[in-house]
Amino acid sequence: MTTTGPCAYLAEMLAWRRAFGTVLIAGLLWPGACTPGRVEAPKGGVAFPRPIPKADFTLTDTDGKPFQFRQATEGYVTLLFFGYTHCPDVCPVHMANIAAALHKQPPEIARRFKVVFVSTDPDRDTPARLRSWLDNFDRSFIGLRGPIDSVNRIQRSFHFAPAQREEPTEPGKDYTVGHTALILAFTTDDLAHVAYPFGVRQEQWAEDMPRLVRDPSGWK
């Protein structure tokens, strides 16, 4: 089953707390809540007291070419998400909300973003399927795939739990993949100051996007 719900978010964030310091847990339950010492909190995300560095990894894009994540996204606000195209809820909702919010932005803001979707189900997410699925949301979205061991190694570098295949309990049903429901937002300083859980609304994304571009470290 896909990772969802406040308890799942808290479990993930507690793992981050051990590595990166105290996390604003309240922001998971009340997104956009005011935080002492901050002029303005993210509208839908959770701000880290200590930002997460952008990892340097290489996977394969939907054209079959190597994609060096850190190098290829340098200078952009990069939204990184690990999911799969057969996901029944979290993945399509996240992608649809991001696409809708980006389409509301003026061109000078929208073109500063790269959305990177890493498949946690490479057996079914062929390059063609991954490209077709992402094109339903925005043709600029980047799809990456690689051996699941490599993908899980990258996830562990962010202190995410590894993706896990979960077999169906009913005959005739297909398997699902348990995966994180969080999106990391790396700004132009190559650091993630904010993470976005499932449930962030289009309006909240739309409000945060200009600030992610103009004030990368404003939530540190």
- pLDDT score, position 219: 59
Cβ neighbors of 36 (< 8 A, separation 6 or more) are none
- State pTM to two decimals: 0.82
| CB-count burial class (<10 Å; 0-12, 13-18, 19+) for 35 | middle
- pLDDT score, position 132: 98
Q: How far is CA 160 from CA 73, 78, 180, in A?
A: 21, 18, 7
Consecutive sets of 10 residues in the chain, 220 residues long: mean pLDDT of each? 42 45 34 36 80 95 98 97 96 97 97 98 97 98 97 94 89 89 95 93 94 76
Could you give phi then psi for residue 116, rounded to 5 degrees?
Answer: -115, 120
- pLDDT score, position 218: 62
Show the tokens assigned to 167. Answer: 């077999």
Cα–Cα distance measured from residue 197 to residue 179, given in angstroms and rounded to the nearest whole number:
12
Domains identified in the chain and CATH numbers: 6-214 (3.40.30.10)
